[in-house]
């Protein structure tokens, strides 16, 4: 993607019908602050299909619910999540499968009642793939 996207999204709402809410792709860096994404495939997503591994997103004080996945980092994408809610998503709250990485603050996020996996609310429903809890700084 040229030129690279550098954007901050604040106080925004994406009500979707099977699409991605906020999406960082190749060379993109997106900060989503106090924003909401509902009823899509992925509420927040970062991926880099161009193999430069530089799609990045920060999700802060935001909410992603009633999607397939709340927050997804796919191949070449990295997402950091703090102070946010991922609730009632049908597969994963935080989804780091497929070559992406999600780093989340252990004490400030709420990932609840996602239904993926054998038992609702239990991994892999809450956390899928490469998800790493980090201490709050």
- Domain carrying residue 55: 6-134
Is the bond leading into 2 cis (omega within 30 degrees of zero)?
Answer: no
Q: What is the pLDDT of residue 125?
A: 59
> Domain total for the chain?
1
Sheet (strand 29-33) strand order: 6-10, 29-33, 55-60, 77-82, 101-105, 131-134
Mean pLDDT computed over every residue of the chain: 86
Percent of the chain beyond pLDDT 90?
57
Q: What is the pLDDT of residue 114?
A: 66
Q: Is residue 74 included in any domain, yes or no?
A: yes
Q: What is the pLDDT of residue 109?
A: 87
Q: Is residue 96 included in any domain, yes or no?
A: yes
Model confidence band, residue 118 (pLDDT cutoffs 50, 70, 90) = very low
Q: What is the pLDDT of residue 18?
A: 77
Q: Is residue 1 included in any domain, yes or no?
A: no
Which residue, 39, 52, 48, 55, is CA-closest to 7?
A: 55
Q: Is residue 80 included in any domain, yes or no?
A: yes
Q: Is residue 33 included in any domain, yes or no?
A: yes
Which residue, 122, 117, 116, is CA-closest to 69?
A: 116
Q: What is the pLDDT of residue 42?
A: 96
Question: What is the spatial distance between Cα 80 and Cα 60, in angstroms, rounded to a whole number?
Answer: 8
Q: Is residue 20 included in any domain, yes or no?
A: yes
Quote the pTM value. Answer: 0.88
Percent of the chain beyond pLDDT 70?
88
Report residue 26 CA to chain centroid gap: 16
Q: Is residue 31 included in any domain, yes or no?
A: yes
Model confidence band, residue 63 (pLDDT cutoffs 50, 70, 90) = very high
With a cut of 90, say whether residue 34 has pLDDT above it. yes
């Amino acid at each position: 993607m040229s030129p690279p996207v550098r954007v901050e999204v604040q106080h925004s709402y994406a009500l979707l019908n099977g699409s991605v809410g906020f999406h960082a792709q190749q060379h993109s860096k997106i900060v989503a602050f106090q924003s909401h994404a509902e009823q899509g495939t992925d509420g927040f997503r970062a991926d880099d299909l161009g193999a430069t591994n530089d799609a990045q997103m920060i999700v802060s004080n935001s909410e992603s619910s009633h999607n397939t996945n709340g927050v997804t980092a796919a191949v070449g994408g990295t997402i950091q999540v703090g102070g946010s809610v991922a609730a009632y998503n049908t597969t994963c709250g935080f989804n780091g499968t497929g070559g992406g990485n999600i780093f989340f603050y252990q004490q400030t996020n709420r990932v609840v009642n996602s239904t993926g996996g054998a038992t609702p609310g239990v991994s892999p429903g809450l956390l899928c793939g490469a998800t790493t809890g980090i201490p709050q700084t």
